[in-house]
Chains A and B, each alone.
Chain A
Amino acid sequence: DAGVIQSPRHEVTEMGQEVTLRCKPISGHDYLFWYRQTMMRGLELLIYFNNNVPIDDSGMPEDRFSAKMPNASFSTLKIQPSEPRDSAVYFCASSLKRVDAFFGQGTRLTVV
């Protein structure tokens, strides 16, 4: 398996634009997590899914952030409109029940 695949690896966008981050989890994994990593706040859990169903989105910072998982092999994290303070590395991770999570390479987002 190729592991968790995130795209794009880098994204630079202007403030106010919509940004969509994509994640393909490892086949067969039933959990998918979205994290945001910044120097100030470390790794924050934004939202996680179990069997494509969002379970806990309490970490999503505001209504500008939304996440979907239309099927077991694809998830998106959308920011609309984007702001400079959204600049961070966004990680997607997938796992099976009760074992360690495998992380994607991350998407480095810069909002100017």
Chain B
Amino acid sequence: AQKITQTQPGMFVQEKEAVTLDCTYDTSDQSYGLFWYKQPSSGEMIFLIYQGSYDEQNATEGRYSLNFQKARKSANLVISASQLGDSAMYFCAMREYLFGNEKLTFGTGTRLTIIP
């Protein structure tokens, strides 16, 4: 079964609009971490934002915020005031803390295209 599900393979958004990228996850652990990474066309993986399972506040980093709904097991990324440079692949990832070891798995990604 998929641990991380990203249901939007691609999205087109007008510049300056806000965009929400969906991510749901599956784990039976109580302690875990959720991450979002950006992969521009150049190919590198860039860390954007992190949310711990015990964090009560939603994480924010500049224009990025993570809408964490623990009961629904969702961790959506919200990008406010989108820019042309936001066009990229976006990956949601989960770090599970298993018997003292930590596994980091990724969803299949969402390709975001910002339209001028």
Residues of chain A whose beta carbon lies under 8 Å from any beta carbon of chain B? 31, 33, 35, 41-43, 45, 48, 50, 55-56, 89, 91, 93, 95, 97-103, 105-106
Contacts and interface: CB of A to CB of B under 8 A. Distances in A.
B45 A93 contact: yes
Interface residues of B, number: 20
A101 to B, nearest CB: 6
Dominant SS among interface residues on chain B: strand
Contact of B50 (A35, A42, A100): A100
Interface of B: 33, 35, 37, 43-45, 47, 50, 91, 95, 97, 101-109
A103 B47 CA distance: 9
Dominant SS among interface residues on chain A: strand
A106 B109 CA distance: 17
Contacts of A91: 45
A106 B43 contact: yes
